[in-house]
A and B are shown apart, each in its own frame.
Chain A
């Protein structure tokens, strides 16, 4: 009995890691701007689609040449943006070491695009690392566009207005991703080992069945969490992010530029979305339903607390493990004792758990409890 239990538990925890990754993106933006970013799921889908199309496998076929032209055009626009920004800074302040570095970065970016385009024509599909790097650049550009075109104009507005803005961004990204990359189901091939591992064969008869791909995913998530936790708690920029979340005016008064902070935080959560999209895509294939994972992150956030990085992780693990265990062990009991059909527990378990938390511990496991003075 212990063997299957542990197997289910491990499987659940590894799925939970993926929930955690999505929830992490939410937490980052919530911490730094007090906004519930509904577009996080769409960002995961967009990142996954981009990687899938650039790395080039559609139902086993290599991608058509025209797609590279599209991709190169996108990157070209990215470089043009960077160039325009560098030029503006240059004009505004006169040349200094900072400007020189920006121009050098611009040149490097141009060289990168040229290299990538040349490589594409010669080779066909992009190797996965190149696709990931290009997607990271695109997510950064996306963050810049969101800050520039949407958030900048909504400083000091109510939270609900910012939320509605992210709702708009979410539907735009869902649609735009399909306009750009099509709506087929794609695969991402990370080249991870596919053969299942059998652990502890000495202890349990037949050992424990574990998917090595999921182990890698868990390692990536753990690494991200450690870096982000330190970043938020111990560094100047981390403190600035928390400061902006607490009070816009006070943050500005100590010299924190809101626009830069928002750009940083959306870029970071874009990169977290990329990691999540990569792993989900490799595991289940890239399809529209990925953007609905966002909804699974909601109970995770309620469990862990909207402002806690460790909370997102622990919440994800609890939900992941909880729903698998309930499906495997609770369902048969319901079937046997109450003569129910017993299916679908996986779908509602997380939300019921979240509801219980809302009743008894609304700030979540790790959330800040704000005591208001009246």
Chain B
């Protein structure tokens, strides 16, 4: 198994002492870690460890009761999801959240939403600047479709596509926003080996070619150890490990959380 050794020095996002609870249930307790610009950062942990809650805090779906998140040098205790999107944070979801009634093309075009600016007036008439803008953005979307090798399903309604392809369309929609930070919630869940390999290749290509910083949640340990630069481990809402894959693999608390402890 080869582990990639790269070094990063600029911090893109840092999470400071985040605590989140729903009623009496503590989802996250005093979590701190950072994501460096350009790296692939994985969050792992057993089911119910709070991984998705962590992503939801970063992109503004959840507002933690304590702690703050510093992104690109700006420190906030909370922000709204569309503000996070405006700041260059895009994401995919654990249970695919595509716009089922729309085609692949329209779904990915929706990802261009923030890159398009013409006013309501021109859009209602669909002439002039609105039409030019539509054409320009369509070109970007076609490049993404080529990149993800989904030309053959461009016009297909996404609700009817197989699971693996839906995941790919969802990645396409997130990429369309040209994000600086891409959050992937279990991008390979429910895929067969071939589909997983394709998805790994896309994630690495996105990171290499566009320099996009990626934070991903994944259960497949082989995949996580292969592609990520650093790994955070959560268990019962607490951080129990943080470091490069080799360190995490030999961390006793992590091994215990995954395999159980003998008493």
Tell me if B123 and A254 are in contact (CB < 8 A).
no
Which B residues lie within 8 Å of A292 (CB)?
none
A238 to B118, CA, bound (A): 13
Which candidate, B29-37, B65-73, B97-105, is the interface stretch facing chain A? B97-105
- Asked whether B61 lies within 8 Å of A249 as measured between CB atoms, the reply is yes
Contact with A along B96-139 (1 / 0, CB 8 A): 01111110001001111110101010011110001001100000
Verify if B262 is at the interface (C-beta below 8 Å from A). no
Q: Which residues from chain A contact B126 at a C-beta distance below 8 Å?
A: 230-231, 234-235
Judging by beta carbons under 8 Å apart, are B173 and A237 in contact? Answer: no
User: What 0/1 readout, one digit per residue, does chain B (75-91) give for beta carbons within 8 Å of chain A?
Assistant: 00000111001100011
Q: A224-246 CB contact bits vs B (8 Å, 1 = yes)?
A: 00010011001111111011011
Cβ of B93 < 8 Å from any Cβ of A? yes
| Residues A237 and B120 in contact, CB atoms below 8 Å apart | yes
Q: Which residue of B lies closest to A252 (CB)?
A: B81
Contact among B90, B97, B100, B134 with A234 in the assembled complex (CB-CB below 8 Å): B134
In the complex, A246→B109 CA distance in Å? 15
Contact between chains at A370 and B110 (CB < 8 Å): no
Asked if A371 is at the interface (CB within 8 A of a chain B CB), the reply is: yes
CA distance A368 to B101 in the complex (A): 7
A128 in the interface (beta carbon within 8 A):
no
The answer for the CA separation of A230 and B124 in the assembled complex, in Å, is 8
Cβ contact within 8 Å between B113 and A247:
no
B110 pairs with A254, CB closer than 8 A: yes
Among residues of A, the one whose C-beta sits closest to the C-beta of B106 is A239
Q: For chain A residues 215-230, which have a beta carbon within 8 Å of chain B?
A: 227, 230
A371 and B159 alpha carbons, distance in the complex (Å): 7
Complex formed: what's the CA distance from A229 to B45 in Å? 47
Chain A residues touching B, range: 20 to 34
- Bound Cα distance A237, B124 (Å): 9
CA distance A371 to B160 in the complex (A): 7
Q: How large is the interface on B (under 10, 10 to 19, 20 to 34, 35 or more residues)?
A: 35 or more
Q: How many whole Å from A153's CB to the nearest CB in chain B? A: 15
Taken together as a complex, chains A and B put the C-alpha atoms of A237 and B126 apart, in Å, by: 11
A-B contact count (CB 8 A): 103
The chain B residue sitting closest to A250, CB to CB, is B97
Asked whether B99 lies within 8 Å of A243 as measured between CB atoms, the reply is yes
Q: Within 8 Å CB of B109, what residues of A?
A: 239
Q: Assess whether B228 is interfacial by the CB under 8 Å rule.
A: no
- Chain A, residues 362-374, CB within 8 Å of chain B (1/0): the string is 0000001011000
Q: How far is the CA of A255 from the CA of B89 in the complex (A)?
A: 9
Complex formed: what's the CA distance from A242 to B100 in Å? 10
User: How far, in Å, is B66 (CB) from chain A's closest CB?
Assistant: 23
Cβ contacts under 8 Å, A251 to chain B: 99, 110
B212 within 8 A of A: no
Knowing A252-B61, A254-B177, A255-B177, the reply to whether A237 touches B123 (Cβ < 8 A) is yes
**Distance between A48 CB and nearest chain B CB, rounded to angstroms:** 24
Q: State which of A227, A237, A254 has its C-beta within 8 Å of the C-beta of B85.
A: A254
Residue A256 at the chain B interface, CB threshold 8 Å: yes
Question: In the bound complex, how far is the Cα of B125 from the Cα of A230, in angstroms?
Answer: 8
In the complex, residue of chain B having the shortest beta-carbon distance to the beta carbon of A249? B97
Q: Given A249-B93, A254-B85, A235–B123 Cβ distance below 8 Å?
A: yes
A242 to B109, CA, bound (A): 12
| B59 touches A (CB below 8 Å) | yes
CB-based nearest B residue for A257: B82
Residue of A nearest to B119 (CB): A237
Cα A307 to Cα B102 in complex, Å, equals: 12
Q: How far is the CB of B209 from chain A (nearest CB, A)?
A: 21
**Would A239 and B124 be within 8 Å (CB), given that A252-B82, A371-B160 are in contact?**
no
CB atoms of B113 and A370 under 8 A apart:
no
**Residue on B with the closest CB to A307?**
B101
Known pairs A236-B133, A255-B177; list 17 more (Cβ under 8 Å): A231-B123, A234-B134, A235-B123, A235-B130, A236-B112, A237-B123, A242-B102, A243-B99, A243-B102, A246-B100, A250-B97, A253-B81, A253-B90, A254-B176, A254-B177, A255-B114, A264-B120
A residues apposed to B, CB below 8 Å? 227, 230-231, 234-240, 242-243, 245-247, 249-258, 264, 307, 368, 370-371
5 A/B residue pairs, CB under 8 Å, sorted by A: A240-B113, A247-B97, A253-B174, A254-B114, A255-B113
Nearest 10 A/B pairs, CB to CB: A255-B85, A250-B97, A252-B81, A246-B99, A235-B123, A255-B114, A257-B82, A236-B116, A247-B97, A255-B82
